[in-house]
A and B are shown apart, each in its own frame.
Chain A
Amino acid sequence: MTGVAVHLDGLRRTFGSVHALDNLDLKMEPGELIALLGPSGCGKTTALRVLAGLEDADEGRVVVGGKDVTALPANKRDMGMVFQAYSLFPHLTALENVEFGLKLRGRRREAGRAASMLDLVGLSGFTGRYPHQMSGGQQQRVALARALAIEPTVLLLDEPLSALDAKVRVQLRDEIRRIQTEVGTTTLIVTHDQEEALAVADRVGVMRAGRLEQLAAPADIYRTPATAFVADFVGLSNRLPGTVVDGQVSVLGARLPIIDGASAAGSVTALVRPEAVSVTPAEEGEGRVLTSSFLGPTSRVTVTVGDVLVVAQVASASLDQLTPGTAVTLTLEPIPVALES
Chain B
Amino acid sequence: MAGVIARRARRQSVFRWIVLVVLGIFFLLPLAAMVEFSTRDSSTWPLLVHWSQLTEKYPDLTDGILQSLGQAALTAVLMLVLLVPTAIWVRLRLPKVRRLIEFLCLLPLTIPAIVLVVGLAPVYAWVNYFLGGSSLTLVFAYAVLVLPYSYRAIDAGLSAIDVKTLAEAARSLGSGYAKVMWSVVLPNIRSAVLSAAFLTVALVLGEFTIASLLNRTNLQVVLVLVGKNSATVSVAVSFVALLLAFVLLMLLSLFEKRSVKGSKGAS
Contact = CB atoms under 8 A, between A and B. Distances in A.
Interface of A: 52-54, 73-81, 83, 85-91, 100-101, 104-105, 130, 132-136, 143, 146-147, 150, 156
B166 A74 contact: no
B264 A132 contact: yes
B209 interface: no
Nearest to A136: B267
A45 to B, nearest CB: 12
B187 interface: yes
Nearest to A81: B172
A253 B235 CA distance: 102
A89 B176 contact: no
A135 B168 contact: no
B161 A90 contact: yes
Contacts of A91: 187-188
B184 A89 contact: yes
Contacts of B100: none
A87 B184 CA distance: 11
B263 interface: yes
- Most central of B165, B171, B174 by chain A CB within 10 Å: B174
Contact of B266 (A52, A87, A89, A135): A135
- Nearest 10 pairs between A and B by C-beta? A132-B265, A101-B173, A87-B169, A81-B172, A104-B174, A91-B187, A74-B171, A85-B165, A87-B165, A75-B171
Contacts of A53: 171
A221 B264 CA distance: 45
A285 to B, nearest CB: 52
Nearest to B263: A132
Nearest to A82: B169
Given A87-B162, A87-B165, A134 B174 contact: no
Given A90-B188, A134-B266, A150 B171 contact: no
- Most central of B169, B173, B264 by chain A CB within 10 Å: B173
Given A75-B174, A89-B184, A105-B174, A83 B168 contact: yes
B contacts with A: majority SS: helix
A104 B173 contact: yes
Nearest to B175: A75
Interface in B142-166: 161-162, 165-166
Interface residues of B, number: 23
B173 to A, nearest CB: 4
Contacts of B173: 75, 80, 100-101, 104, 146-147, 150
25 contacts: A54-B171, A74-B168, A74-B171, A75-B171, A75-B174, A80-B172, A81-B168, A81-B169, A83-B168, A85-B165, A87-B168, A89-B170, A89-B188, A90-B263, A91-B187, A100-B173, A101-B174, A105-B174, A132-B262, A132-B264, A132-B266, A133-B265, A133-B266, A135-B266, A147-B173
A197 to B, nearest CB: 22
A239 B264 CA distance: 50
B98 interface: no
Nearest to B162: A85
Interface in B241-267: 262-267
A78 B174 contact: yes
Given A76-B174, A104-B174, 10 more contacts: A75-B171, A78-B174, A80-B172, A89-B170, A100-B170, A100-B173, A104-B175, A132-B263, A132-B265, A146-B169
Contacts of B176: 75
Contacts of B188: 89-91
Given A87-B162, A89-B166, A104-B179, A74 B172 contact: yes
Nearest to A146: B173
Nearest to B262: A132
Contacts of B187: 89, 91
- Most central of A76, A90, A101 by chain B CB within 10 Å: A90
B93 to A, nearest CB: 12
A79 B161 CA distance: 24
B83 to A, nearest CB: 21
Nearest to A104: B174
A77 B170 CA distance: 12
Nearest to A52: B172
Contacts of A89: 166, 169-170, 184, 187-188
A63 B169 CA distance: 21
B113 to A, nearest CB: 38
A162 B171 CA distance: 22
- Most central of A101, A105, A143 by chain B CB within 10 Å: A101
A143 B172 CA distance: 12
Nearest to B266: A133
Contacts of A79: 172
Contacts of A104: 173-175, 179
A40 B168 CA distance: 21
A264 to B, nearest CB: 45
A237 to B, nearest CB: 36
A146 B169 CA distance: 10
Contacts of B266: 132-135
A131 to B, nearest CB: 8
B175 A54 contact: no
A78 B173 CA distance: 7
